[in-house]
Structures are given as C-alpha cells and as structure tokens.
Amino acid sequence: MSRPPFELQRIDHVVLRVRDAAAMQAFYCDVLGCREERRQDDIGLVQLRAGDSLIDLVDVAGKLGRMGGGAPGEEGRNMDHLCLRVGPFDRDAIVAHLHAHGARIGEFGSRYGAEGEGPSQYLFDPEGNLVELKGPPAPL
C-alpha cells in the first residue's frame, strides 16, 4: 500500500452549520476566546480564529448553509464533538468561567487525545454541539 505524498499536521478548520450565527459567534468568541478573522455575509460564512486553527460558522439559512440540507437539532447533529486543546488546564478556573457565561457543562474525565491521555472537560455550545476542552497529557 503506498503512502500519500504528504504528512497530516493538524486540524486546519472545522465547519459548523448553525441556526443562530450571532449566538454561536458570541459563544465561541466570548466564552472560548476565539476572534473573528473573516466574514462573507453574502454566503453566510463567519470564520473564527481558534489558536492555529479556524472554526467556520455557516448559517443554515445562507447560501452555503442551504446546500447542506436541514438544520442540526436534537435528532441530528453536525458532528459528534469538537475538541480544542487548551492551556493552562485549571479545571476549577475553567468551570468557574463556563458557569459565569451560563454554559451548559458536561462530564469531566481523563481522555485520550493527540498528545496522549489527559484531563478533559465537556461542554455544549448554544446549539447543542458537544465541545471538549483538552488539557496536556498527564505525567507518566
């Protein structure tokens, strides 16, 4: 089996189809610290900088969004979850920040990620997408 002529390096961007673009942008910017990098209102796209990556928000009522079919909801999600590597990982500070912003918090645990096993806090964005905040690998 031949190998591709390239090596995967990292996630470049994730695209979320959203019902309420303003609420989603506020969540990803105000709660998780993204910043708006680029927007194309004519097609319903806002691109948010998330560290070295982008999170694209596509309004389901916009030109791009309509091409993807019905909006995500309780019975059908866009994805299983989005994992964001964060640092430093101070769970108490993270949970206090999420509570202060009214975020719905999910389970905490040790989970395996790109750098190995380490702390992980689940939460939900305003449209019910599961987001994981992943800390560094636990020392051996």
Strand partners, 83: 132
64 vs 15 pLDDT, higher one: 15
Residue-wise pLDDT for 70-99, tens only, equals 777 766 667 768 899 999 999 999 999 999
Quick one: pLDDT at residue 6? 59
Residue-wise pLDDT for 115-133, tens only, equals 888 999 999 999 888 899 9
8 falls in which pLDDT band (50, 70, 90)?
A: low
Quick one: pLDDT at residue 9? 75
Quick one: pLDDT at residue 90? 92
5 falls in which pLDDT band (50, 70, 90)?
A: low
Quick one: pLDDT at residue 68? 74
The residue assigned the tokens 């961007």 is 13
